Amino acid sequence: MYRERAAGGIAGAVLWESVSRGGAPSRVLPDGCLDLLWSSRAGLLVAGPDRTAQVAVSVPGERWVGLRLPPGVGPAVFGVPAAELRDRRVALAELWGRAARRPADRINDGQPAAAVLEAVAVARLRAAGGPDPLGARIAARLAAGVPVATAAAEVGLGARALYRRSQLLFGYGPKTLARILRMRRALDLARDGTPLAAAAALAGYADQAHLTRDVKELAGVPRPGCCAPTPADRRPPGWSPGAGTARRRSVSRR
C-alpha cells in the first residue's frame, strides 16, 4: 500500500505513507533530498542525502510515513548542514535532543503521523526564516544540465563558494549533485518508454555507455534496466528540483 500527497506549507515537499510487505531489500537511489521519517518499528528518523544507493530493509507490516523535503530545504528544518547527514540514517533525537520527544509523543497519543511530520517541519522552517533561496536555484540549474561554472555565475557565486554552499545545502558538491540529477532524469525518461540511447542523449550524456557507468556507480546495479520502480517510488513526468515534488526512487534487489 502506498499513497502520497503534496505537503502544505513547504513548496515541493511530499508526504507519503506505505506499509511494507517485507521480502527482498530495496535500493533507494540518491536524489539530493533529506527526509523526515516515522516508522512503526523505529520511531522518528532522518534520512540524509545519499551519494550512492542505500539498501533498505523493512519487516512485514511495518508502516512508514515520510516527509520528503526538496533539495536544499532540509538543513533549515533539521538545523544541521546536509553534509553532516550524508549517507546516514539517524534518530531525530540525535539532532533535536529532548525536542524530538514532542512530535513522538503526539504520534504515540494517536495523532496522524503525517500531520505531525508536516506541522513540525513547517514550524521549524518558519522559525529558521525559510530555506536558503539559493538551494532551489542551484538545483534547478544543475538539473537542467547547466555546467557547474555557468550555474555558479548565474547564482552569483564563485566556484569555491558554490562548492561550500552545495555541501551545506545538498550534502555534496555541485558536480556530484549534477551527476545524480542527470542519472535520475535519464532513468525517468527510460521508465517512461524512451529508448536508453535516446534517454541518455536527452539527459546530457555523451552516449549510453556513460549512462550505464553512472548507474553502476551511483545505483549499484549493472545496467539501467535493473532500476525497476516499486509502487512506493512514483514520480510525475516533468519533475525537476524546485519545480515540483521530489521523490526518492527505489529499486528491487533481486
Per-residue model confidence (pLDDT) at position 55: 83
Contacts of 186 (CB under 8 A, 6+ apart): 199, 200, 202, 203, 205, 211, 224
Structure letter (DSSP) for residue 218:
I
- At 56, is the secondary structure helix, strand, or coil? strand
CA angle 164, 170, 171 (to 5 degrees): 75
Q: Where are the domains of the chain?
A: 2-127, 133-227
Taking the chain (254 residues) in consecutive chunks of 10 residues, what is each chunk's mean pLDDT? 86 91 77 94 96 85 94 97 96 97 97 97 96 95 93 95 97 96 92 92 93 92 67 32 38 32
Per-residue model confidence (pLDDT) at position 8: 85
Per the listing, cell 533525537 goes with: 93
Structure letter (DSSP) for residue 215:
I
> What is the full DSSP assignment across 27-43?
EE---S-EEEEEETTTE
Structure letter (DSSP) for residue 131:
-
CATH number of 133-227: 1.10.10.60
Contact 215, 185 (CB under 8 A): no
User: Considering all CA atoms of the chain, what is the largest pairwise distance in Å, rounded to the nearest integer?
Assistant: 54
**Residue 64 one-letter amino acid:** W
Per-residue model confidence (pLDDT) at position 234: 34
**Residue 195 one-letter amino acid:** P
